[in-house]
Structure 1
Amino acid sequence: MGVKRTIFTALAAVALLGTGVSLVNAPTAQAAAVATTQGRAYIHYVKGYSIAVWTTPTADRQLTGKTIKDGSQVTYVDKTTGADGHVWYKLADNQWISGQYAVSQVIPQTSGTLLINEHPAFGVPVFDSPNADQLGTGRILKGGQQLPFVDAQFGFDGHVWYKLGNNEWVNSQFAGIIFDNGKGTSEPIRIKYTPGYSIAVWNSPLINQQPTAKKLKHGTVWKTFKMVEYNNTYWYNLGGNQWINGKYTEFAN
């Protein structure tokens, strides 16, 4: 089941010229992380072995007697931090697994625009389905290409696959969603790194990206134009060919 995520407000109110970006006053900070409590998880343990399913993530948890094999995919309906400090995923009533042995996957949205994330010298193949018996269609997508998708679902490999059209699917490992609401407002973000240090500004969110000469200091606040999501990692556009990694930011609402 696709899980909708809260998407930040995009498009800055003013245009950025050249390599400059708009600096704004810094109000009270809020967490920039977007919370999701439902999704799919891929069991990553030891080949040939299984993990236990527990009754609760609390300290008094008990074994249910159920196990899940390494390499399996499961759907979770909730998640929380357990008594051990790790994330725990709820599969059903009184059925929890430790996030120590599960890689979470979520579907940000089921339609929109994709940005193909691959080196321009290479291509991304399109397949006829996201299933294990998939076949290549012969269509190849170029790095940097933008195109619409009309559906999304989990594939046989545990990754999200995007549907481009009838019998045309592309793996999310090579495609990111562009979030751009087309409005003339922006939500500023604050650089959250190490006091006294700066983060790099990149010319692209793509795999062949290069750093620009610009750096942004910890604690400064900037307007953004749009955002691209790749496998739960967010890249924010500051205007033109200027991008920063969202893991070093927080919303400055």
Structure 2
Amino acid sequence: MILDLKNNFVKATAAAALTIVGVSAVNVAKPNSMTSHVQAATQKVKINYVPGYGVNVWDNYNHGHFTGKRVKHGTTWNVISTVTDRKGRTWYEIGQGEWVMSKYAKLVHTNTQKETKDDDSIGEWVAVKTPKKAKKSVQATGDAAGVIALAKAQAGKAYVWGASGPSSFDCSGLVQYVYKNAAGVSLGRTTYDQVKQGTTVSMDNLQPGDLLFWGSASAPYHVGIYLGNGKYVHAATPSQGVRVQTLSSYFYPSVAKRVLN
């Protein structure tokens, strides 16, 4: 009986030791020892959004909820896994139950430690679909011409949250100001209101004066005015102010609206 108790004690002690070792082994496991599903843990992504802003982090890639966290533009994160959702969108898991859409990030080569500037593509590639090239714009006339002229005239002015002109603007304030004063069109004050106005148009059929929105098609976070020939004007960030830029796959609109006939 004593011998049996000793044997059982030895077995239990050995099992406990194996359990502890097993836990320790998991905690220090190297990325290359993981399964193919999480092989992407050997990769990193650099958030490529809007300077001064962050990307929402979701708790799931299919019908997920906003976690209340955001990752800042320009920060680099390890990728735990890469998944494509039911709508064909690619997601990166950057933490346990923390997901970001791939269109807001750039994959960084793992065989180089070189840090690159946000506008330097060396050692990186863009993990987004290349947008279709917009058709050549027709010449703006009438109200559209007035909208374009007034919008361009605001370039260089300051970005101030909640401002609607004439010396400073936020993104929706600029749009509201330009349309009211150039075309007599009253638009809502926020991007949420403005995206509900006008008619939706495809990104490959833009015309000067169309509104461009970024983010959710029903609740966008940013808006600008299309100028034609692939260019748009917007109140970008506090550090950049109102500026004219060219449409880019790094920062591509999700929906366009036409509010001028």
TM-score (norm 2): 0.29
Which structure: larger Rg? Answer: 2
Higher relative contact order (CA closer than 8 Å, sequence separation 6+):
1
* Higher fraction of helix: 2
